[in-house]
Chain A
Amino acid sequence: NAGVTQTPKFRVLKTGQSMTLLCAQDMNHEYMYWYRQDPGMGLRLIHYSVGEGTTAKGEVPDGYNVSRLKKQNFLLGLESAAPSQTSVYFCATGDRWGSEQFFGPGTRLTVL
Chain B
Amino acid sequence: DQQVKQNSPSLSVQEGRISILNCDYTNSMFDYFLWYKKYPAEGPTFLISISSIKDKNEDGRFTVFLNKSAKHLSLHIVPSQPGDSAVYFCAASVGRTYKYIFGTGTRLKVLA
Contact = CB atoms under 8 A, between A and B. Distances in A.
Interface of A: 4, 31, 33, 40-45, 48, 50, 58-59, 90-92, 94, 97-106
B16 interface: no
Given A43-B89, A98-B93, A90 B44 contact: yes
B96 A97 contact: yes
B105 A42 contact: yes
User: Chain B, interface size: which category?
Assistant: 20 to 34
Most buried by B among A4, A41, A42, A104: A42
B96 A42 contact: no
Interface string B97-112: 1111111110000000
Nearest to A90: B43
Interface in B31-59: 32, 34, 36, 41-46, 49
Contact of B101 (A33, A42, A98): A42
Interface of B: 2, 4, 32, 34, 36, 41-46, 49, 89, 91, 93, 95-105
A33 B98 contact: yes
A98 B43 contact: no
A58 B102 contact: no
